[in-house]
Chains A and B, each alone.
Chain A
Amino acid sequence: MIEHTSIRESSPTIDYGMVDHPGPVSWSDAARRDMAAIFARYPDKRSATLPILWLAVREFGWISPQVEKIAAEILGRPLNEIHIVVTFYTMYPRRPMGQHHIQICRNVSCWLAGAADLSRYLQQRLGIGPGETTADGKFSFSEVECLCYCECAPAMRLDNRYVGNLTKTSIDQLIGEK
């Protein structure tokens, strides 16, 4: 196998949109136990890549260059392969996220139900745009493609649950509760 060096080491001036953890990172004992269970589910180690990255998000909050490195070690894969995977998918955060993540759908059924207006309203209320986090670290906001909750459009994903039939009032309420 070809030896891969870190892409970041070889081109330190490029900003990959990743934020590193301030201190060193290492897997907790609980994570190591879960890892063993994950590996046992697949016929090979590489197939465990997505679940191991999910575990890393749970452990460390976001995938940083350091986290990529320890994930690559655990998976026995070259670092750049891990980087390619992490950056291909939209759900692995690459920088610290707010306490709550609001993902509002902008696709066609939600758009027909007024999602663009709601999104603007939400951005004004939070004072941030898509991909940003409020200064107090409470909310991160994204516009996403179809959540497949179109029957309850306009819809959003708030942290790990779906909320549909949104109105400005229900948005106020949801944010107020947090």
Chain B
Amino acid sequence: MLKLVTKNVGIENSHTLSVARSHGAYSRLEAAFAMTPEALTAEVIKSNLRGLGGAGFPAGRKWSFLPKDSPKPRYLVVNGDEGEPGTCKDKIIMIHDPHLLIEGIIITCWAIQSHKAFIYIRGEYDLPVEHVEQAIVEAKAAGILGETVMGHDFALDIVVHRGAGAYICGEETALLESLEGKRGWPRLKPPFPAVEGYMRCPTVVNNVETLSYVPYVVEMGAQPFADLGSERNGGLRMYSISGRVNRPGVYELPMGTPLREMIYDHAQGVTGGRALKAVIPGGSSAPILTPDEIDVPMDFDSLAKRGTMLGSAGVIVFDETVSMVEALKVIIRFYAHESCGQCTPCREGTAWLEKIVERILDLGGRPGDVDNMLRISRNIMGNTICPFGDGAALPVVSCVTKFRPEFEAWVRRGQPVTTLPVREAHIGEPVAAV
């Protein structure tokens, strides 16, 4: 099976310059510099390379949005803040093939004419930080970065910026705020980062994995790369498969690989041969799918058509023994914990959702609670500064809607049952007649 960004995983010392070079690192630079920035951007647009951080925006088109006439410096900001539950892919590139990432950054900086790139890496990622920093030092010493890039009259500096523990800093504008030394509070868009990003300068924000495919677009040519995937979803991507499967792991597969094939072939089926109950296809912010919905090509457009999303391609599998009420509690607890607190519907809504699902599980559920969860979620959607709010509400709506009887059963369990002595249930209240 063809592999691109994971090709070198498993090769000893693949993160060092000499080993990386013997496996092709930096071999695409000459071809890239031979193209004009405009031609290179056009090539990436044609390749159908999508943003793999979550939103799936076409990479080349994003680059083309930078204002042509701004006198300000331009920045490339690389999003390595990986935090979406169920996603564990970017760290693999940063640990095993940091030179591939750097090559992608160089090519992208040439395309957008930027001389400075920041790689924002999540704070917990010590090994990725170490390997990427080492790779930058090696690349500088070898004349691949610095005042000139491999003899080309093009200066480029790359700086690693370590996060400090905040999921929201993966959202691009929160990330920029954090990079500017502030708390990670997302910004209202527009202006988009392409116009006003880091230090209010034109900025492209791209995910680690997105940029790591750029050298392959150059190597293979746009059309062959596009042909690897499905319609409008070019190339391959990394799917993280976790939860109740026999072989959890990160799999690099063509865009549009059917979800069923991922679960039953690549991940070798559900643990213990049990029946499938539900699947989250794209990180915990993606609406959940039921077993009759898994015959779907895993690409951005196909999943959007089914009312969910590919997002960061974190596939989480639930088997028949899992309580969806408990699962939702774990998921919503995360959002309540990570809301940046800036928007009231998100801050209050996630806190209430957590409280309600907890009381349902503690057998304190109230008759209207299931509808209340839906109402609160719908109140968040579309009413917040950043997409985190939708990311918290959508899984609740899908889970509660698709597994409603399970939620109602929990609520019923917590209510006084009619066979209980009625007097006891009404203690303290005047009971007219029993």
Give the B-binding residues of A (Cβ under 8 A): 41-44, 46-51, 53-54, 75, 77, 81, 84-85, 88-92, 103, 106-109, 111-113, 145-153, 157, 160-162
A145 and B181 form a contact (CB under 8 A): no
A151 to B89 Cα, complex, angstroms: 9
Partner of B162, one of A43, A51, A145, A152: A51
Contact A151 B166 (CB under 8 A): no
Given contacts A92-B164, A109-B242, A153-B248, contact A46 B180 (CB under 8 A): yes
Using A109-B316, A112-B316, A146-B334 as known contacts, say yes or no to A91 and B86 having CB atoms under 8 A apart.
no
Check B287 for interface membership: any CB of A closer than 8 A: no
Instruction: For residue A34, give the distance in angstroms from its CB to the closest CB of chain B.
Output: 13
Which one of A54, A89, A162 has the highest number of Cβ atoms from chain B below 10 Å of its Cβ?
A: A89
22 pairs of residues in contact across A and B, judged by CB atoms under 8 Å: A41-B159, A43-B116, A44-B199, A48-B181, A49-B181, A54-B162, A75-B181, A88-B184, A91-B163, A103-B124, A106-B333, A108-B327, A109-B85, A111-B327, A112-B327, A145-B338, A147-B124, A148-B90, A149-B88, A150-B86, A150-B248, A151-B250
**Which B residues form the contact surface with A (CB < 8 A)?**
73, 82-88, 90-91, 116, 122-124, 126-127, 159, 161-167, 178-184, 199, 240-244, 248-250, 280, 284, 314, 316, 318, 322, 327, 330-331, 333-334, 337-338
A43 to B88, CA, bound (A): 32
Contact in complex: B164, A50 (CB < 8 Å): yes
* Chain A: minimal CB distance from B83 (Å): 6
Complex contact B242–A50 (CB within 8 A): no
Top 6 A-B residue pairs of the complex, sorted by shortest distance between their CB atoms: A49-B181, A91-B165, A90-B165, A88-B183, A89-B164, A150-B242
Contact A112 B322 (CB under 8 A): yes
Closest to B334 in A: A145
Q: CA of A111 to CA of B86 in the docked complex: distance in angstroms?
A: 11
Besides the known contacts A111-B327, A149-B88, 5 further A-B residue pairs in the complex with CB atoms under 8 A apart: A89-B184, A103-B124, A112-B318, A147-B124, A150-B85
Shortest Cβ distance from B89 into A: residue: A148
Closest A residue to B116 using CB positions: A43
Contact: A106 with B330, CB < 8 Å? yes
Chain B residue with the shortest CB-CB distance to A42:
B159
Given A88-B183, A161-B126: A150 and B164 within 8 A (CB)? no
Task: Choose among A77, A88, A161, A162 the residue with the greatest number of B CB atoms under 10 Å from its CB.
Answer: A88
Asked if B181 and A89 make an inter-chain contact with CB atoms under 8 angstroms apart, the answer reads no
* Contact assessment for A108 and B85 in the assembled complex, using a CB-CB cutoff below 8 Å: yes
Please give me the residue from chain A that is nearest to B126 by CB atom.
Answer: A160
For B162, the chain A residues whose CB sits under 8 A away are 50-51, 54
Instruction: Find chain A residues with CB under 8 A from B165 CB.
Output: 89-92
Residues of chain B within 8 A (CB-CB) of A75 are 181
Chain A residues closer than 8 Å to B327, beta-carbon distance: 108, 111-112
Q: Establish whether residues A109 and B243, one from each chain, have CB atoms under 8 Å apart when the complex forms.
A: yes
Q: Shortest Cβ distance from B333 into chain A, in angstroms?
A: 8
Kindly identify which residue among A51, A85, A103, A150 contacts B88, using a CB–CB cutoff of 8 Å: A150
